[in-house]
């Protein structure tokens, strides 16, 4: 059954609560918070309800429910301990066209109480249609972490700006664009940082570019901040190796361009990517450069931020879960282990033309573990260079391909046998010198995924991928 989600104004309107125990008390409190005129019918009441009645905040009739109690009511909540009483309240309410909620009795409900994330004028309601209030409460706690207390003063500022725009002489289309701009992820970042706010009439017109790390591929490894900013994007320039589940999180209203660099395929040059980022931001758009893993680790983030700063374009980097971390998690190993060494080195097998190779002997002398990104096609040279540097041929080597994705592959070998190993599909990474789990160690359970996270996101709703599967 589909439910109609709505936020109802109850200020000054009569509402009835049947029952005044601890549950009834909480329902009365929520109605008072909404400004309702609350009538209570119950033989007995908690101390709090009795106090509210003595203060005149509620009207309490200390008796059993009677049909006439529903005269003139907008809605009724039955928090009675007797199912028979709730059934009678629902039947009478239905005959009068009064909306009824019987607590913990979905069959006698016209509406359900939602789990609410309350940030002042910003309210996010979660309903399971009465099927699992416990799930709704869990999801509420998760959203409270994403939408912190700072949203309460920010939405007040948005309201002031909106009223200012409607009071001024602004064309409807221009006003709509400004309303979206001042509610953007970039505007929120400015508010949090204490930067001078954009004025409602026009102020700043240059957009912001966000270099967002999308993680290894599992959409659940996308950070909450990355998800929020992605939901506000006007334009997304993304790498070629991102999973479909991540790409489905992009708002349907956003312009999406693939600018990935695959070996042997037609490439978009780095200079062209930089030019597109600057061009779109100069149009006042919110631009997301979506990169697999963490863009600051072998992701050319330095080149892009330099180009943006040279052009006077505001930019920010949002870190992501890097391939080394996800690969180690998939293989059940630790990247750092004090029994083996005190160093962890990130390297890449892909280098710009003219760049010298790493000083392998210096790397080997550090001890600890190596994480070698993008090894595809270089396995033979890597094995030779590692052995020549002093790393023993029998040193453990783990190849992880497609870490965190459904087609993830893990190959355990040694440095000496690495050249005999067929290259696994990209993206792949080598982990060398990590302490592998022993055969006696129990296998780690595979974590379950949250269903529905890949649902399409809507503009100005940064958590719609989450909310779409939450709501019934």
CA dist 472 and 469 (Å) reads 7
pLDDT at 351: 72
Output the pLDDT for position 439: 43
CB of 291 closer than 8 Å to CB of 213: yes
pLDDT (average), residues 408-429? 88
Break the chain down into helix, strand, coil percent, rounded to 5.
35, 20, 45
Cα angle 334, 379, 446; round to 5: 35
| Whole-number pLDDT of residue 461 | 43
The tokens 């301990």 sit on which residue? 81
Residues 270 and 335 in one domain: no
358 and 256 belong to one structural domain: no
Same domain for 340 and 406? yes
**294 and 347 part of one domain:** no
Residue 47 tokens read as 């101390």
The mean pLDDT value for 342-347 works out to: 88
- Which domain does 268 fall in, by range? 206-321
Catalytic residue among 261, 337, 459, 461: 261
Q: Is residue 328 part of a domain?
A: yes
- Give the CATH number, domain containing residue 36: 3.40.50.720
Q: CA 90 to CA 78: how far, in whole Å?
A: 8
Q: How far is residue 71 from each of residues 28, 31, 34, 76, 92, measured CA to CA in Å? A: 18, 18, 21, 11, 11
Question: Which tokens go with 468?
Answer: 């779409």
Q: Please give the Cα distance from 395 to 434 (Å, whole number).
A: 9
Residue 90 lies in a domain: yes
Q: How far apart are CA 466 and CA 179, in angstroms?
A: 24
**Spatial distance between the Cα atoms of 228 and 208, rounded to a whole number of angstroms:** 14
Q: Which of these ranges, 67-76, 218-227, 289-298, 367-376, has the smallest mean pLDDT?
A: 367-376
Query: In terms of Cα–Cα distance, which of 121, 145, 146 is closest to 228?
Result: 146
Last residue of a domain, one of 321, 350, 373: 321
For residues 211 and 317, state if they share a domain.
yes
At 202, list the tokens.
């026009």
Tokens of 448: 């379950």
Question: Using CA atoms, how far apart are residues 126 and 111, in angstroms rounded to an integer?
Answer: 13
Instruction: Give the model's pLDDT for residue 199.
Output: 53
Q: Do 416 and 345 belong to one domain?
A: yes
Q: How far apart are CA 67 and CA 93, in angstroms?
A: 8
Instruction: Phi first, then psi: give them for residue 258, nearest 5 degrees.
Output: -90, 125
Q: Backbone phi, then psi, for 23, in 5-degree steps?
A: -70, -45
Shared-domain flag, residues 84 and 35: yes
Are 210 and 316 in contact, with CB atoms under 8 Å apart? Answer: yes
Distance (Å) of CA 334 to CA 1, 325, 456: 48, 9, 35
Half-sphere exposure (CA, 13 Å, Cβ side) for 163?
5
Confidence of residue 82 (pLDDT cuts 50, 70, 90): very high
Helices (H), 1-132: 22-33, 47-55, 83-96
Residue with the bigger pLDDT between 194 and 115: it is 115
2 in a structural domain? no
Task: Give the bridge partners for 288, in sequence order.
Answer: 210, 236
> Measured between alpha carbons, how far is 180 from 198 in angstroms, rounded to an integer?
12
Report the side by side order of strands in the sheet with 75-78.
Answer: 58-61, 37-41, 14-18, 75-78, 99-102
Closest listed residue to residue 327, CA positions, set 410, 248, 267, 386: 410
Told to judge if 337 belongs to the known catalytic residues of this protein, a careful annotator would answer no
* 394 counts as catalytic: no
Cα 446 to chain center, whole Å? 21
Q: Which of 64, 80, 113 is the last residue of a domain?
A: 113
Residue 139 is assigned to a structural domain of this protein: no
Catalytic residue among 69, 218, 234, 239: 239
Segment 123-144, tens digit of pLDDT: 898 988 878 888 988 998 888 8
Task: Report the C-alpha gap between 209 and 315 in whole angstroms.
Answer: 5
Of the listed ranges 18-27, 72-81, 204-213, 398-407, the one predicted with least confidence: 204-213
Q: What percent of the chain has pLDDT over 90?
A: 47
Q: Does 447 or 458 have the greater pLDDT score?
A: 447
Which pLDDT band, with edges at 50, 70 and 90, does 6 fall under? confident
Run of H or E including 377: none
* Strands 209-213 and 315-318, bridge-based pairing: parallel
**Are residues 314 and 339 both part of a single domain?**
no
Concatenated DSSP letters for 396-420?
EEEEEESTTSTT-EEEEEETTTGGG
Q: In a 10 Å sphere around its CB, with 0-12 CB exposed, 13-18 middle and 19+ buried, how is residue 396 labelled?
A: middle
* Weakest mean pLDDT among 62-66, 282-286, 337-341, 364-368: 337-341
User: Quick check: is 152 in a domain?
Assistant: no
* 361 within domain boundaries: yes
Mention every residue, 6+ apart, whose C-beta is less than 8 A from residue 172. none
CA atoms within 13 A on the CB side of 324: 20
Tell me, what CATH number does 349's domain have? 3.30.950.10
Asked if residue 52 belongs to a domain, the reply is yes
Report the number of distinct structural domains present in the chain.
Answer: 3
Instruction: Give the H/E segment covering residue 152.
Output: helix 151-167
Mean pLDDT across the stretch 363-387? 86
Do 313 and 351 belong together in one domain?
A: no
pLDDT of residue 147: 85
Instruction: Tell me the pLDDT of the chain averaged across its residues.
Output: 84
Quote the pTM value. Answer: 0.58
Q: Which of 278, 302, 321 is the last residue of a domain?
A: 321
Do 294 and 257 belong together in one domain?
Answer: yes
Residue 30 falls within a domain, yes or no? yes
What CATH number corresponds to the domain at position 247? 3.40.1010.10
pLDDT at site 203: 52
- Gap between the terminal Cα atoms of the chain: 8
Pick 176 or 270 by higher pLDDT: 270
346 and 305 assigned to the same domain: no
Residues 422 and 361 in one domain: yes
128: left (phi over 0), alpha (psi -120 to 50) or beta: alpha
DSSP 196: P
Establish how many alpha carbons lie within 13 A of residue 18's alpha carbon, considering only the half-sphere containing its beta carbon: 29
Q: DSSP for 447-461?
A: PPPPTTTTSPBBTTB
Residue 424 scores a pLDDT above 60: yes
């Amino acid at each position: 059954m589909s439910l109609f989600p709505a936020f109802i104004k109850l200020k000054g309107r009569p509402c009835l609560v049947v029952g005044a125990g601890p549950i009834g008390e909480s329902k009365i409190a929520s109605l008072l918070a909404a400004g309702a005129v609350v009538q209570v019918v119950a033989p007995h009441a908690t101390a709090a309800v009795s106090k509210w009645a003595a203060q005149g905040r509620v009207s309490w009739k200390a008796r059993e429910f009677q049909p006439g109690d529903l005269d003139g009511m907008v809605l009724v909540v039955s928090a009675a301990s007797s199912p028979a009483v709730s059934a009678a309240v629902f039947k009478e309410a239905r005959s009068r066209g009064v909306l009824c909620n019987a607590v913990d009795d979905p069959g006698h409900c016209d509406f359900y109480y939602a789990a609410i994330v309350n940030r002042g004028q910003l309210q996010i309601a979660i309903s399971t249609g009465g099927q699992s209030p416990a799930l709704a409460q869990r999801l509420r706690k998760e959203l409270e972490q994403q939408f912190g207390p700072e949203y309460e003063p920010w939405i007040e500022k948005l309201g002031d700006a909106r009223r200012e725009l409607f009071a001024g002489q602004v064309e409807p289309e221009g006003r709509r664009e400004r309303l979206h701009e001042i509610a953007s992820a970039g505007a929120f970042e400015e508010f949090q940082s204490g930067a001078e706010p954009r004025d409602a009439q026009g102020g700043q017109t240059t957009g912001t570019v966000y270099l967002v790390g999308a993680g290894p591929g599992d959409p659940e490894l996308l950070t909450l901040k990355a998800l929020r900013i992605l939901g506000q994007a006007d334009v997304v320039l993304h790498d070629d190796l991102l999973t479909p589940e991540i790409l489905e999180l992009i708002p349907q209203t956003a312009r999406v361009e693939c600018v990935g660099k695959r070996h042997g395929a037609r490439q978009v040059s780095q200079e062209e990517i930089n030019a597109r980022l600057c061009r779109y931001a100069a149009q006042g758009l919110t631009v997301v450069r979506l990169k697999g893993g963490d863009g600051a680790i072998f992701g050319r983030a330095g080149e892009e931020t330099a180009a943006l700063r040279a052009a006077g374009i505001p930019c920010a980097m949002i870190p992501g879960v890097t391939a080394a971390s996800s690969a180690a998690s998939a293989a059940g190993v630790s990247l750092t282990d004090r029994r083996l060494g005190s160093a962890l080195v990130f390297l890449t097998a892909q280098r710009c033309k003219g760049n010298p190779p790493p000083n392998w002997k210096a790397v080997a002398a550090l001890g600890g573990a190596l994480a070698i990104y993008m090894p595809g096609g270089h396995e033979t040279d890597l094995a030779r260079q590692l052995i020549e540097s002093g790393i023993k041929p029998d040193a453990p080597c783990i190849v992880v391909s497609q870490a965190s994705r459904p087609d993830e592959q893990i190959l355990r070998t040694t440095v000496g046998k690495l050249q005999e190993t067929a290259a696994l599909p990209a993206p792949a990474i080598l982990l060398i010198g990590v302490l592998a789990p022993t055969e006696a160690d129990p296998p780690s359970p595979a974590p379950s995924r949250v269903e529905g996270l890949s649902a399409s996101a809507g503009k100005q709703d940064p958590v719609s991928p989450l909310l779409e599967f939450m709501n019934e």
